[in-house]
Amino acid sequence: MIEKKHPAQYDLFHEAVFPVRAPAGQIDIARFRATLKRAMAQAIRECPFDRTVIAARMAQYLGLPNLSKATLDAYTAESKDTHDISLVRFKAFVRATDANWLWDTIVSEDGLTMLEGDEARLAEIARLQQEQRAIGAELKTLLAVPVNIKRRGR
């Protein structure tokens, strides 16, 4: 027999697919920079292309003749706190590495969660189901009291 757990009981080993986040009170630029650089380095490690190819792909997306591997290395080196990637170049990096999950890294400290593709439709379904339950509860309350209809003209 499978025991059904109480909705308020947490599972220590379960990780939410769409975590509920709260915005950070303050922006810690040094921590954000380090987190972003580490995430970008991870994206490079997980990418099937080497750094030279990633840099070339970025240059192509940016419409540049080239982008050096050294520039890419500076964007991912935590020790280089003066080499932050621009948003436009970050977008090219995400495309070049096919690491869309990096966008979630960017917005997570603001209390946001990125949804990709059909996940947005799933969120809309859940929102409508929540509305449907609220309407159902309101109907139940209204139906709990009998309706007395006065017949006219008879």
pTM of the entire structure? 0.71
pLDDT confidence band for 3 (50 / 70 / 90): low
pLDDT at 116 over 80: yes
Q: Give the residue-averaged pLDDT of 1-6.
A: 58
Q: Which residues make Cβ contacts (< 8 Å) with residue 18, sequence separation at least 6? A: 113, 115, 119, 123
4 or 138, greater pLDDT:
138
- Quick: pLDDT tens for 6-30: 655 655 555 666 677 677 788 889 9
- Quick: pLDDT tens for 32-79: 999 999 999 999 999 999 999 999 999 999 999 999 999 999 999 988
